[in-house]
Amino acid sequence: MQLIQFTTSLVLCTLATFSAAFPVNGSTHEIDETQLDRRGTSVPFGAVIDRCTVPGTFALTFDDGPFIFTNKILDLLRANGVRATFFLTGQLHANIIANGDIVRRAIAEGHQVGSHTWSHPWLVGGLDQNVMVKQMTQLESAFLRIIGRIPTYMRPPYLAVDGSVLAIMGQLSYHVISASIDTKDYENDDPVAIWNSFEKFRRELDGGGTITLAHDVHRSTVDILAQAMIDEIRKRGLKMVTVGECLGDAPENWYRGAR
């Protein structure tokens, strides 16, 4: 199925026609929207967002952790006085519960964490809706164990979305974050090749990109690319903040309690 990035108006139309009930584990899962407080934010739910809306801001984001390199990139960010956003998986390179201390450290140091699904599946093209919901709710349960809250921001694996994905994320009250700069660092995880990702980063930064995608699970990203990106962004006079901040969303809206 061809991937489609919907405009906000089209997504809202899709959400209006999508039932609030969909199957989970063979039964019907009702989402009581009265229990999901959306009043505190102007950031749309269930719509693709790939750029900052606050002028002069830039959002560094890192996907697929937590992993053995995540603490090192947190050290780097702290040394540079930079806040970033981490879209975390439940069980991919490492188990999130076993690495709960990394999640808590990221939040304590001012970073934002979001959901990247439990096991990083391809969500589009006919994935059963109950499986998609479980990918989110299973990770929510892990977040509740680790930090006592659930993120309201998510990034779809491979940045892949379609109408069904956006509708379900809207029903689950998630802001869907894509990227306007994709470093493709996973293709260049080598001390020499990683500079190809940096050049791609610069080209897309020249083109007006303000939310970048990289991965804290690749050594060359942590050792080389992250600092190079920070230096370049500073040269442009941009302020590096979390995704929530670059969208003008107050920190209290980045997480919520249990459903």
Q: What is the pLDDT of residues 118-146, one digit of tens each?
A: 999 999 987 899 999 999 999 999 999 99
CATH code for the domain of 203? 3.20.20.370
Tell me if 182 is assigned to some domain: yes
Mean of the pLDDT values across residues 105-120? 98
Tell me if 162 is assigned to some domain: yes
Tell me if 126 is assigned to some domain: yes
Tell me if 78 is assigned to some domain: yes
pLDDT, position 38: 59
pLDDT, position 40: 84
* 8 Å CB contact between 253 and 244: yes
Question: Among 63, 162, 216, 249, which one carries the catalytic annotation?
Answer: 63
Task: Give the tens place of pLDDT for each residue, 157-185.
Answer: 999 999 999 999 999 999 999 999 999 99
* pLDDT interval class at 242 (50, 70, 90): very high
* pLDDT interval class at 31 (50, 70, 90): very low
Tell me if 29 is assigned to some domain: no
Tell me if 62 is assigned to some domain: yes
Tell me if 17 is assigned to some domain: no
Question: Is the pLDDT at 151 greater than 70, yes or no?
Answer: yes
Tell me if 83 is assigned to some domain: yes
Question: Among 215, 216, 218, 249, which one carries the catalytic annotation?
Answer: 215
What pTM does this model have? 0.86
Residue 215 annotated to the active site: yes
Range of the domain at 136: 44-256
Count the domains in the chain. 1
Residue 63 annotated to the active site: yes
Question: Is the pLDDT at 207 greater than 90, yes or no?
Answer: yes
pLDDT, position 27: 31
pLDDT, position 9: 36
Mean of the pLDDT values across residues 24-29? 32
Mean of the pLDDT values across residues 186-196? 97
Q: Which DSSP string corresponds to 227-252?
A: HHHHHHHHHTTPEEE-HHHHTT--GG
Give the whole-angstrom CA distance, residue 191 versus residue 224. 7
Tokens of 54: 């606050």
Quick one: which of 200, 127, 201, 205 has its CA closest to 161? Answer: 127
